[in-house]
């Protein structure tokens, strides 16, 4: 695997379910990000992890719970979601304190909450 | 707070035409700016990253420019092809951080 991978690619869940999204980066980066992309809205940054430590929680509801066990893996745990949480969830990584801070994105998980 | 605006929201052109996509940002204290491409339902592909010390960056038929003083960046696509049809996103950092703020994108359609 190369770059940034995300699983699953598609997820349908009921409002009472608990599920998790997984992201893995194979680039040796030290920062990882979760973004949400809803229809007709700009990408919204949700969480930032630098060196496995959370440095940003952009006022995200507690029904979204991130986990970063190491610098290569990032999870987003989901529980009691609402239909308005249906969106494309994108993971990204970058090398902070590098020359460019360029971010690389995964293919996303299309989440549908029924 | 950084805000990013992209104009136009949508653009339809015939194949072979040269075109310019515009991006403006409110906080000029940026160290770089990135342009991305997104195909329907897919993730983002990084096209070009311009560092604050550069005025432009080129990759194949793509050329991106950056004018920090005016808070503007442009993406120039030469000799457009139907395969260029996608949404193009501009992103600038929030303050001096690694956190990116995205515009809403320009949806480009290149007609054969």
Phi then psi for residue A71, to 5 deg, are: -70, -5
ω into A105 cis (within 30 of 0): no
Does A100 reach chain B within 8 Å, measured CB to CB?
yes
What average pLDDT does range A85-107 have in this prediction?
A: 89
According to the model, what pLDDT value does residue B57 have?
A: 94
Structure tokens at A77: 């745990």
CB-nearest partner of A31 from B34, B91, B98? B98
Average pLDDT of chain B, as a whole number:
94
According to the model, what pLDDT value does residue A45 have?
A: 93
A110 versus A16: which is more confidently predicted? A110
Cα(B77)–Cα(B17) distance, integer angstroms: 9
Chain B positions touching A43 (Cβ under 8 A) are 89, 91, 102
Structure tokens at A5: 């991978």
B53 versus B74: which is more confidently predicted? B74
What average pLDDT does range B44-62 have in this prediction?
A: 93
Average pLDDT of chain A, as a whole number:
91
According to the model, what pLDDT value does residue A1 have?
A: 60
pLDDT band at A98 (very low <50, low <70, confident <90, very high): confident
B6 versus A96: which is more confidently predicted? B6
A48 to B44: CB separation less than 8 angstroms, yes or no: no
Residue whose C-alpha is closest to residue B15's, from B108, B84, B82: B82
Chain B positions touching A99 (Cβ under 8 A) are 51
Cα(A74)–Cα(A92) distance, integer angstroms: 10
What average pLDDT does range B85-100 have in this prediction?
A: 90
B95 versus A3: which is more confidently predicted? A3
């Amino acid at each position: 695997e190369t770059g940034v991978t995300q699983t699953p690619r598609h997820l349908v869940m009921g409002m009472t379910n608990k599920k998790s999204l997984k992201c893995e980066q194979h680039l040796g980066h030290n920062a990882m990000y979760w973004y949400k992309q809803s229809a007709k809205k700009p990408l919204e940054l949700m969480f930032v992890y630098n060196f496995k430590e959370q440095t940003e929680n952009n006022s995200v509801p507690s029904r979204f719970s991130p986990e970063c066990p190491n610098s290569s893996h990032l999870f987003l745990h989901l529980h009691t979601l609402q239909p308005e949480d249906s969106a494309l969830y994108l993971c990204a990584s970058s090398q902070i304190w590098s020359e460019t801070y360029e971010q690389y994105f995964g293919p996303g998980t299309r989440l549908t909450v029924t | 707070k950084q805000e990013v605006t992209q104009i136009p929201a949508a653009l339809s052109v015939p194949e072979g035409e040269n075109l310019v996509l515009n991006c403006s940002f409110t906080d000029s204290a940026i160290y770089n700016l990135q342009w991305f491409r997104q195909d329907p339902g897919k993730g983002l592909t990084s096209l070009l990253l311009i560092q604050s010390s550069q005025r432009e960056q080129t990759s194949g038929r793509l050329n991106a420019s950056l004018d920090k003083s005016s808070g503007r960046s442009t993406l120039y696509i030469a000799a457009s092809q139907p395969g260029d049809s996608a949404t193009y996103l501009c992103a600038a950092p929030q303050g001096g951080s690694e956190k990116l703020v995205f515009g809403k994108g320009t949806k480009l359609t290149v007609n054969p």
